[in-house]
């Protein structure tokens, strides 16, 4: 998503598929120059496309560290698997790291807009949201995913809920979610919060009942009934397993 501005474009996350980058760049040409790229988190569906943009990349310092550790070959293999047509564009691929990092808050002042980057740990420990006060818009990253399954495999659930409360206090009407087919209103924050606590409650009671991860997976039911986000339907069976393993690690002690 790109809020446009008479002084240029701030690109929030970059496409995972090189062919989608090309399509997007055609569209962007008519609108202006990309001045900055922001990564809201260190998962490949948010930073893989950085390489195809000249503009400096900004992210939370923890996101930079996580991207720095990301195995290049695995990223290239996964991208090639997702985007057959895009393979020729990957020949000289390297991971483009965030060059500018922040801890709690950073503002980009561009034209008449102030674009705030706010540290909001949750979906990942280094998640950031982008807030544009003049427009009353929040680009939430994957801290909000609209009517698609939330991934908690790398999450800090308590921090996530606290971050959603922080978002609720911002003056905004519109949330552009990290995944999902539509934008949503601030009302959705409470639903997102409920889905996260459904998961933590379910896993904590499985641990209390003495179940192991496998038994929990078989018995946990459906804490988040939403479908998988577009493009990762095939991963559905793995995701619950990854979430349960991660939450067991967090709550076992
Ligand atoms: Zn993610």
- Per residue in 91-122, pLDDT tens? 999 999 999 999 999 999 999 899 999 999 99
Backbone φ, ψ for residue 107 (5° rounding):
-115, 135
Q: How far is the CA of 145 from the centre of ligand 1 (A)?
A: 10
Structural domains of the chain, ranges and CATH numbers in brackets: 4-188 (3.60.15.10)
**208-216 contacts, C-beta under 8 A, 24 or more apart:** 213/241, 213/244, 213/245, 213/248, 216/244, 216/248
Q: How far is the CA of 6 from the centre of ligand 1 (A)?
A: 30
What pLDDT score does 13 carry? Answer: 98
Q: How far is the CA of 152 from the centre of ligand 1 (A)?
A: 9
Give the CA angle between residues 131, 134, 140 to the nearest 5°.
20
Whole-model pTM: value is: 0.94
What pLDDT score does 253 carry? Answer: 74
Q: How far is the CA of 243 from the centre of ligand 1 (A)?
A: 12
Backbone φ, ψ for residue 125 (5° rounding):
-65, -15
Q: How far is the CA of 142 from the centre of ligand 1 (A)?
A: 6
What pLDDT score does 161 carry? Answer: 98
What pLDDT score does 8 carry? Answer: 94
Instruction: Mark the ranges of the chain whose per-residue pLDDT is less than 70.
Output: 1-5
Q: How far is the CA of 193 from the centre of ligand 1 (A)?
A: 16
CA distances from 30 to 18, 82, 132, 156, 251 (A): 19, 28, 22, 40, 50
Q: How far is the CA of 156 from the centre of ligand 1 (A)?
A: 12
Check: CB of residue 42 under 8 Å from CB of residue 60.
no
Q: How far is the CA of 209 from the centre of ligand 1 (A)?
A: 30
């Amino acid at each position: 998503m790109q809020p446009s501005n008479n002084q240029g474009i701030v690109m929030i996350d970059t496409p995972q598929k090189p062919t989608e980058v090309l399509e997007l760049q055609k569209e962007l040409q008519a609108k202006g120059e990309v001045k900055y790229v922001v990564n809201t988190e260190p998962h490949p569906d948010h930073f893989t496309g950085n390489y195809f943009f000249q503009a400096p990349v900004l992210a939370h310092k923890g996101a930079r560290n996580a991207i720095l550790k990301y195995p290049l070959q695995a990223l290239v293999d996964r991208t090639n698997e997702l985007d057959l047509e895009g393979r020729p564009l990957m020949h000289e691929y390297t991971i483009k790291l965030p060059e500018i990092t922040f801890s709690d808050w950073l503002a980009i002042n561009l034209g008449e807009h102030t674009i705030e980057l706010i540290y909001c740990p949750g979906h990942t420990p280094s998640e950031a949201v982008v807030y544009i006060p003049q427009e009353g818009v929040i680009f939430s990253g994957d801290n909000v995913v609209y009517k698609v399954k939330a991934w908690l495999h790398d999450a800090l659930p308590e921090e996530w809920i606290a971050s959603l409360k922080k978002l609720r206090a911002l003056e905004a009407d519109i949330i552009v979610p990290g995944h999902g087919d539509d934008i949503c209103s601030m009302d959705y924050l409470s639903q997102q919060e409920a889905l996260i606590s459904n998961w933590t409650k379910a896993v904590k009671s499985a641990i209390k009942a003495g179940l192991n991860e496998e038994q929990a997976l078989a018995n946990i039911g459906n804490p988040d009934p939403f479908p998988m986000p577009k493009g990762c339907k095939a991963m559905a069976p793995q995701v619950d397993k990854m979430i349960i393993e991660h939450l067991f690690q967090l709550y076992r002690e």
